[in-house]
Amino acid sequence: MTDARFRITGGARLKGRVRISGSKNAADYAIAAALLTAADVVLHNVPAIGDVRRMEELLEYLGATVAHEGPSSLRINCANIDKLDVPASLATPIRAGFLVMGSLLGRFRRAACPPPGGDVIGIRPLDVHLSGFRTIGADVARREAMFVATAPDGLRGGRVVLDYPSVMGTLNVMLAAALADGPTTIINAASEPEVASLADMLNAMGASISGAGTHTVRINGVRELGGVEHRVIPDRLEAGTFALAAAITSGEVEIEEAIPEHLDALITKMREAGVEIEPTDAGMRVRGSGDYRAIGAQAVPYPGLATDLHPPLAAFLTQARGVSTINERVFDNRMLYIGELRKMGADVITAGQTAIISGPTRLSAAPVKALDVRAGTACVLAGLVAEGTTEVSDVFHIDRAHEALHVKLSALGASIERA
């Protein structure tokens, strides 16, 4: 944790090209999957961000070697794993760390980990993960602060029906079931692109997984998995954030590496609000006119609008004419950003799980805090159009997910510096 902050002087229109980094979440998931094999796993397009570093530390603690090969490639070897218990100091800083449960359980038939941390954006239970492990034959107990999962006689495939299409719940079951005896079917699976990408990686390691990216995933357990060289998919949430940054500043930005199909819901909503977005050979181009209409949106599981894009979308909608609404249906504490935007003059209120945003409002600089990753990006976007110099503190939250956000925004013409 650092006391770094951003100072942003609003008013500049963003112009030019920006290249999107590899996906934070997909990179974290791929690192957890490396535990499934004794062979080398080489990952490319890995973003240099706080959360990835935490995952590397976690694997190193368990006995893995992690070598950086160039700025965005990692070579991971898990031949000599000698610990199966994750201490709280390594588990709590990062939610994705809980995925080592599935990998360790699959390969070593035992795993222990305390409840993970991550953003305080809601209750974030683990019942989906734990009941999934039980369905494929694990015994799961809570011992003091740890969840301990064991399967001394090995895991057996089963029919796993998820109460909720939890992203990491789906992945934890997929990781464990990849090495189980027999077939597993996950019903009501999460269909996020990061799930499909992890299945691609596992299949390249020798797993037999079909249907990932839909709500029914079939896994035929195999005896062992081998090494792989895998490229992490581009970060759709970073791409969406830059699309909104371009729009809020009435700018014109080509977002290289963006995969428009991963952003269908956001693109549809932004077009409805009056933003021009078109696919290009390199990614997509966003052109903002500054004349926007209010819209209604809902943050739901993929392929709907991502909950992670709710706060920056709300920042953008402060500049739209009329009353916009965003109904948050994934996390029950996603709206921490609202208090910060209000300090800058935004007219945002809540009614239950709905943010009601009236606009357009002239925002003005104020000291604000990045209360979580996405609340932080909402503050940064607001700062880009606010009158005066906005200071965003607790930028370490943004650093967890964004590779050099201020450098990329500066290159597009924003007046932003890190202090």
Stretch that binds ligand EPU, among 33-41, 78-86, 124-132, 258-266 (CB under 6 A): 124-132
> Which strands sit side by side in the sheet containing 183-187, from one edge to the other?
159-161, 183-187, 216-220, 208-210
Q: Of the two residues 125 and 339, which places its CB atom closer to ligand EPU in the complex?
A: 125
Stretch that binds ligand EPU, among 122-130, 220-228, 284-292, 341-349 (CB under 6 A): 122-130
Q: Is residue 271 within 8 Å of residue 300, measured between CB atoms? A: no
132 binds ligand EPU (CB under 6 A): no
Shortest spacing between CB 169 and ligand EPU, in angstroms: 5
Question: What is the 3 state secondary structure string of 330-372?
Answer: CCCCHHHHHHHHHHCCCEEEEECCEEEEEECCCCECCEEECCC
396 binds ligand EPU (CB under 6 A): no
Q: Which of residues 182-201 bind ligand EPU (CB under 6 A)?
A: 190, 192
Rounded Cα distance between 261 and 254, Å, is 16
Q: Is residue 236 within 8 Å of residue 248, measured between CB atoms? A: no
Displacement of CA 399 from its chain's centroid (Å):
13
Using the CB atoms, write b or e for 167-191: b if 16+ within 10 Å. Answer: bbbbbbbbbbbbbbbeebbbebbbb
368 binds ligand EPU (CB under 6 A): no
Considering only 66, 105, 140, 167, the residue that binds ligand EPU (CB under 6 A) is: 167
Q: Is residue 194 within 8 Å of residue 174, measured between CB atoms? A: no
- Residue 412: exposure state from Cβ atoms within 10 A (0-12, 13-18, ≥19): buried
Token code pair at residue 301? 């599981």
Q: Is residue 284 within 8 Å of residue 322, measured between CB atoms? A: no
Stretch that binds ligand EPU, among 84-92, 162-170, 284-292, 355-363 (CB under 6 A): 162-170
Considering only 74, 245, 373, 384, the residue that binds ligand EPU (CB under 6 A) is: 373
Considering only 166, 172, 361, 377, the residue that binds ligand EPU (CB under 6 A) is: 166
Nearest to 48 by CA among 406, 407, 404: 404
Shortest spacing between CB 123 and ligand EPU, in angstroms: 5
Please state whether the peptide bond connecting residue 115 to the residue before it is cis, i.e. omega within 30 degrees of 0.
no
Which contiguous run of DSSP H or E holds residue 243?
Answer: helix 236-248
Q: Of the two residues 114 and 227, which places its CB atom closer to ligand EPU in the complex?
A: 114
Token code pair at residue 384? 């880009």
Considering only 136, 331, 376, 386, the residue that binds ligand EPU (CB under 6 A) is: 331
Shortest spacing between CB 103 and ligand EPU, in angstroms: 15
Shortest spacing between CB 309 and ligand EPU, in angstroms: 10
Site track 27-66 with ligand EPU (rule: CB under 6 A), x = hit: -x--------------------------------------
Amino acid at 55: M
Shortest spacing between CB 15 and ligand EPU, in angstroms: 28
Amino acid at 62: L
Considering only 123, 143, 152, 352, the residue that binds ligand EPU (CB under 6 A) is: 123
Shortest spacing between CB 146 and ligand EPU, in angstroms: 17
124 binds ligand EPU (CB under 6 A): yes
Shortest spacing between CB 341 and ligand EPU, in angstroms: 18
172 binds ligand EPU (CB under 6 A): no
Considering only 114, 169, 240, 359, the residue that binds ligand EPU (CB under 6 A) is: 169
Q: Which residues bind to ligand EPU, rule: CB under 6 A?
A: 25, 28, 95-96, 118-119, 122-129, 164, 166-169, 190, 192, 307-308, 330-331, 373-374, 401
